[in-house]
Amino acid sequence: MHHLATALGGVLAGLALAIPVLARQQRILTKVRWMAHHDDVTGLPNRRLFLDRLRAALNDNIPTGVVLLDLNDFKTVNDTLNHETGNDVLNHVGRRLSSLAGPILAARLSGDEFALLVTGDRAATEAAAHAAWQAIAAHSIRVVNGDLHVTASVGHTHTHSHHSAVGPRQLLSQADSAMYEAKVTTGRVREYLPHRTPTVRSRARQQH
């Protein structure tokens, strides 16, 4: 009986040592998984997670809209101020987009390019696009160097704008085309329309 109690005590002691190690490993694994699907500057979902969610919505035949946003003259912020200030701006923009009302997933795709995945009809997507533009432009952003007035060019598209099925990358391409058209015209919000002649991207924009 004494030997059994001793053995049991050893097992319990081993478990007491192992549990914190396993818990720490689980936390590390959870963090690694989170980092693989989120942007490290804003904490928003990244391009991979955005595409996964968009692909899932299309597979389930859910009416879905895609909104792309590109900050106007953001390169000037990095060039004239610094990258830390640029990251502050990206953080503020990310928080404003993630606080938009409705079934909307906000993501940072790369650089100063953000995206919204909107669950709903075409009108809901258009409303989200205008709300996103307003959320960014309505108030200046406070940074260490002062207040910055930031605006964005916004393009959007929707699955119901087409007569045939479209894939995730095609929707992104359409929203991107509309976004660039907004950038070279109004600098505000444009919708992708299939019958409209696409605006040719400049070399500078292609390398952006």
Instruction: Tell me the three state secondary structure of residue 77.
Output: helix
**Strands of the chain, DSSP E:** 64-71, 104-110, 113-119, 141-143, 146-148, 152-158, 189-191
Task: Point out the catalytic residue in the list 39, 70, 112, 176.
Answer: 112
Question: Does the annotation mark 40 as catalytic?
Answer: no
Cα torsion for 160, 162, 167, 172, to the nearest 10°? -80
| DSSP per-residue codes, 22-46 | HHHHHHHHHHHHHHHHB-TTT-SB-
Active-site residues, by number, are: 112
